[in-house]
Structure 1
Amino acid sequence: MKGSNSGSFRYFRYFYSKLRYKVFVALILSLAVGVLDGFGLAMFLPLLQMVGGEDATASGEGLGGMEFLVSGLDSIGVTLTLHSVLIMILIFFVFKGVMKFCQGYYNVLTQQYFIRKLRLQNAKMLGNFSYKSFVTLDSGMIQNTMGGEMGRVSTAFKNYFSAIQSGVLVAVYLGLAIITNFQFAILVAIGGGLSNLVYNRIYKKTKQTSKKITKGGHVYQGLLIQNVAFFKYLKATGLMDLFYAKMKSAIEYIESSNRKIGFYNSLVVAAREPLVITVVVLVILIQVNVFSQNIGAIVLSLLFFYRSLNSLVELQNHWNNFLNVTGSLDNVIAFGEQLKKAQDSNGIEPYTNLNRTIDLENVSYGYNGENVINNLNLVIDSKSTVAFVGESGSGKTTLVNLIVGLFYPDSGEVKIDGVNIKNLKKETYQSKIGYISQDPVIFNDSIFNNISGWAEKTPENINRFWNALEKAAIEDFVRTLPEQEKTLLGNNGIQVSGGQKQRLAIARELYKNIDILVMDEATSALDSETEKIIQENIDHLKGKLTILIIAHRLSTIKTSDKIILLKNGEIEDQGSYRELISGSKRFNKMVQMQEI
């Protein structure tokens, strides 16, 4: 593993940060397996000394430094007869089997614990990820990292710790070898070092290819998301074949990289046995011809040698398998760090209700160094209806996003009843906000769960559900469905029309116990008749909720208490509809051109 020590220790620190003491329990179990196996093997040499007869006894002669094992047994009154040696061999290997089971099952439990913890941590951090940072991320990268990459990280974890455990066994056998015969230890070190040279080049190639697989996975997942999201457009415009060509290229890139990984893995597996046998033969020749040792005297050394070399090759195999997926592990680590660096701050003051005002004081906000909102001051009274109008890019949506806490101002303050929004517990505040956008959010679930937010089906909740549907002018449609509220809406509401999706999204917000209702082009996808019905129902909410409207269509803002006319992130004018018609030339012109 030349050249990878600093990297492998970095991975160890990462795994340790998630597992803590569990790492060392796994290593102790591996140590126990190796020691018990070594003791069991050592007992075969006394067994060979008793070849002369059933009643023969044995001594520790020929065990070298391992003679302490026989001396220890003798000190507790165990004489090495055929029966006692066989029993001791059985005891050592039974206990080794027990430890091996504990090691294997503990590895499974630890692996599942690690992946569960990693998934939960990333899901939690993604949920608390800064909205400003989120909009700059590639959706394909998020899906690939949170989905397919987790399986590869699980494989990385398994092979990394299998490699370490194999390393522990190598160390145990080398330790026993040093105790038994120092010359043997030197030969093992030389043999292991030479065999490691064969693998180093393969390791480097494997790691490079693993990174390519991760990169290809991001691209493919991104294209897959777009294929589903834009399926109708691609189908209707004849672009599906061209898009398929892009997906084909991404798939072939991944397939080519996986093929290379398979080649390197096959090479590692194929080289294992010849390397082991080659070093075994060389050691025997050196022990007999150079050190003039009898074959019988080197049997125990051979057993330890073969065991240690097998463990070394196992280590190399696991390490190569680990390198196969290091690209995924590096990606998940980097993704976690990215999420961690852009976590939303959260206040400690709970929010209950909006009783007085929302105040924006000298608020500025921008993207990439360019302000979208410039030193803006605004007061919104509780339970008033306020509309924001202006041309595209004037800052309407950004201003509302600041009010609902999707991000905080670069300078200035947004205050809710006099409390800086940064000091509020965000979940208590945002749970009281209803948000209806131009692109309705429909979950792949039943109508009831979509509207109620997965609430329990109590009589009270069912009654609230049908009342919300009625206010959103979609109750009659749901009543006609065979499954009614149990009807599944499909991916992004594919089972219903655009207008029906919008009305369902409106019903969801009307179902909730909210203080603030945001309507961002909410009725733009509706026909005039349905829009009129919904508008009448929303008008009934005037004076009960604080309603913030972003709209271009005149009908949605005409009855607003206040209209804010924005231009280049600043308030150009404000007032009621009548006041702006008579006092603002630009607003008057916009009305005449029906731009709002």
Structure 2
Amino acid sequence: MKKRESGRLVYFKYFYSKLGYKVFIALFLSLCVGLLDGFGLAMFLPLLQMVGDTDTVSSGEELGGLQFLISGLESLGVQLNLQTVLFVIMFFFIFKGVTKFCQGYYNVLTQQYFIRKLRLTYAKMLGNYSYKSFVNVDSGMVQNTMGGEMGRVSTAFKNYFSTIQSGVLVAVYLGLAIATNFQFAILVAIGGTLSNLVYNRIYKKTKLTSKKITKGGHIYQGLLIQNVAFYKYLRATGLMSLFYDKMKVAIEYIERSNKKIGFYNSLVVAAREPLVITVVVIVILIQVNLFSENISAIVLSLLFFYRSLNSLVELQNHWNNFLNVTGSLDNVIEFGQQLAKAQDKKGNEEFLGLNNSIKLEDVSFGYFEDKVLQKINLDIQAKSTVAFVGESGSGKTTLVNLIAGLFDADTGKILIDDKDLCKIDKLSFQKKIGYITQEPVIFSDTIFNNITAWSEKSPENQEKFWKALKKAAIDDFVKELPEREDSKLGNNGIQVSGGQKQRLAIARELYKETEILVMDEATSALDSETEKIIQKNIDQLKGQLTILIIAHRLSTIRTADKIILLKNGNIEAVGSYSELIVESEKFKKMVQLQEV
């Protein structure tokens, strides 16, 4: 947020960037409501003049600058008497009611359009957020911003435009008042300025407290995510009570901030009527005693004055309510800017399949200043099986993530069939990648939807589904379930064991029409017998897919075409299993240690 710019202007620019012309339609409707209300009120003076004498014809002189209403009606051939004035008043207020309905409903439509567009835009940007940036972001902040904060931004939007619409009404009533009695404008300016001084101090405290609520929300959401993710560990180790204490501190922090907001809101609401009445009384005394005005001559100007003060106080209330949630709005704006700055670059060339090879030429990469990988040169032939081994932190997973397009190389090139990966459409490329990790991804949905990624339940897809389950050695388990493929797996697969989750995750990737299969120690959670079955099925895929294996169990990569031994971000040795046993003392020692 640029401090040198007015906060109101910055927020208006932000809303306008999302809504465009819709902003001005809303303001135009507010203008119409104010004018129709003002004209309807103005017609009460001729009505009062006629009370007791239904045959009296109004001259309109008592309307001052609004006399054009009377002359306009007369030019249309309407003679003003009690009946016609009543009908004119009724017309103005009926038309005002229709316009008020249009304004209110249009505000609802605009608000819903805004929040829908905001959520969809942020969801899309989050989906294309640079993975390098994502791994360094606070998950609690992301959860809180995309969840609760969006609701508070919807409230901010509503109150911001209610503030502007109240401002339009103030301007309308002031304009009508000036047309009726110029002295009135001076008094309103003084009254408005004085009342604004009362509220300014409250506004500052409200905005500061709003930022504290947003900060507390980030902390609480982060703790909540960890509580759910590590629930089993926290319960098993007796740490849940300690974690509860941390959550209690965050909850009480939010509570204190919300209490402060409530105090300031109550103060603003309580001061509304006394402030309006005080200013009205002062205006009447000044008009009658100082300017020697007849009370009947200032009735209309006082009516507009009271209306304008009500709109002014409503403006102040809406503005204070807006300030209650500015912390959330600022946070959402800043998060949007953060997402926009780190969007993944997409090439234009569609990936149709891997035909020849994947090459890395002088590729270096680091999450921060230190490089995890340094000048990697590598050639992976299509439909070959390549394993990556090395100590923890040697760069195995990072290297495979680069090949999968999760990261962009800091320097050097990654070539897919001699085409720079940066120029290839990543979505079309990654749709052809199967990725099986040590921690299997299980969605809170049915088995069928988990395996098929929510595909249509057609006979063809069901046949593919059961074939994938069989290859992953999980088909018998699914057939024994009461609801078979329609069984729910629960949050993160809570209904099944770790080995079953792993086999289901493997089945999902086997179901896809992948070109490249990445296995990050995919069989580590399985028993020896099941591991052998799956390993046999995966071995059958040799020569059909390009298989990249991040290996910790070296016994699982004996049949790999090529093994890459990494150390401190550099390739130390390359060869088959039998070649490295002979040529690399490091690899030989690693094998011997695992065989002990």
How would you bin the TM-score normalised by the shorter chain?
over 0.9
Q: Residue by residue, what CA displacement relative to the aligned partner does 1:28-86 show, whole Å, maximum 9, x if unpaired?
A: 00000000111001101111111231121111111111111111111111111001100
Partner of 1:188: 188
Partners of 1:36 and 1:72 in 2: CA distance: 15
**In the aligned structure 2, how far is the partner of 1:482 from the partner of 1:555?**
37
Paired position in structure 1 for 2:397 = 397
Larger mean CA deviation between 59-68 and 317-326 belongs to 59-68
Post-superposition offset of 1:229: 0.4
Per the TM alignment, residue 554 of structure 1 is displaced from its structure 2 partner at its CA by: 2.1
Aligned equivalent of 2:157: 157
- 1:364 and 1:412 in contact (8 A); partners too: yes
2:148 counterpart residue number:
148
CA offset digits 1:502-538 (Å, max 9, x no partner) = 0000000000000000001111111111111110000
- 1:174 to 2:174 alignment: yes
Stretches of 4+ aligned residues off by more than 6 angstroms: none
Normalising by structure 2, we get a TM-score of 0.99
The one-letter amino acid paired with 1:316 is Q
Could you tell me whether the CA contact under 8 Å between 1:220 and 1:247 is conserved in 2?
yes
Matched to 2:236, the amino acid is A
Kept in 2, the 8 Å contact 1:552–1:595? The answer is no
SS of 1:593's partner is: helix
- Hey, what's the Cα distance between the residues in 1 that align with 2:266 and 2:186? 30
Q: Deviations over 1:107-140 (max 9, x none)?
A: 0000000000000000000000000000011111
| Structure 2 match to 1:364 | 364
Q: Deviations over 1:204-233 (max 9, x none)?
A: 000000000000000000000000000011
In structure 2, runs of 5+ residues without a counterpart are none
Distance 1:370 1:376 in 2: 15
**Are the aligned partners of 1:498 and 1:525 in contact in 2 as well (CA < 8 Å)?**
yes
Distance 1:4 1:326 in 2: 17
The equivalent of 1:449 in structure 2 is 449
The CA distance in 1 between the partners of 2:135 and 2:583, in whole Å, is 38
CA distance in 2, matches of 1:121, 1:367: 27
Q: Helix, strand or coil for the counterpart of 1:518? A: strand
Deviations 1:182-219 (A, max 9, x none): 10111111111111111001000000000000000000
Tell me whether 1:111 sits opposite 2:124 in the alignment.
no
**CA contact under 8 A between 1:358 and 1:414: conserved in structure 2?**
yes
TM value normalised by structure 1: 0.99
Query: Which residue of structure 1 aligns with residue 345 of structure 2?
Result: 345
SS in 2 for 1:435: strand
Q: Report whether the alignment pairs 1:267 with 2:267.
A: yes
Task: Give the corresponding residue for 2:210.
Answer: 210
Task: Label 1:306 to 1:5 Cα distance change in 2 as closer, same or farther (>3 A).
Answer: farther
* Counterpart Cα distance in 1 of 2:359 and 2:214: 47
Matched residue, 2:38:
38
Q: Which residue of 2 aligns with 1:415?
A: 415
Give the partner amino acid of 2:319.
Answer: W
Range that drifts further, 49-58 or 513-522: 49-58
Aligned counterparts of 1:136 and 1:393: Cα–Cα separation in 2 = 17
The Cα shift of 1:425 comes to: 0.7
Aligned match of 2:519:
519
* 1:379 match: 379
Shift of 1:4: 11
- SS state at 2:363 partner: strand
CA distance in 1, matches of 2:51, 2:289: 26
Q: 1:426-575, aligned counterparts within 5 Å?
A: 426-575=426-575
Query: Which residue of structure 1 aligns with residue 284 of structure 2?
Result: 284
Count residues in correspondence. Answer: 594
| AA of the residue aligned to 1:26 | A
Which runs of no fewer than 5 residues in structure 1 stay unpaired?
A: none
Alignment check: 8 A CA contact 1:141 1:219 kept: yes
Question: What's the CA shift string for 1:237-266, capped at 9, x where partnerless?
Answer: 111111000000000000110011001101
The DSSP-based 3-state class of the residue aligned with 1:594 is: helix
Partner of 1:7: 7
Supply the distance in 2 between the matched residues of 1:463 and 1:479 (Cα, whole angstroms). 14
Residue 592 (1) aligns with residue 592 (2): yes
Q: Shift of residue 305 of structure 1?
A: 0.5
In 1: Cα distance, 2:446 partner to 2:216 partner: 35
Taking the TM superposition and a 5 Å limit, the aligned residue runs for 1:180-329 are 180-329=180-329
When structure 1 is superposed on structure 2, of 442-451 and 44-53 the one drifting more is 44-53
3-state SS, counterpart of residue 271 of structure 1: helix
Aligned 8 A contact 1:357 1:382 in 2: yes
- Aligned-residue RMSD, C-alpha: 1.1
Distance 1:283 1:65, change over 3 A: same
Partner Cα distance (1:530, 1:124) in 2 = 39
Q: Which residue of 2 aligns with 1:87?
A: 87
| Equivalent position amino acid for 1:543 in 2 | G
Q: Post-superposition shift, 1:595? A: 8.0
Counterpart code for 2:533: I
Query: Residue 125 of structure 2 corresponds to which residue in structure 1?
Result: 125
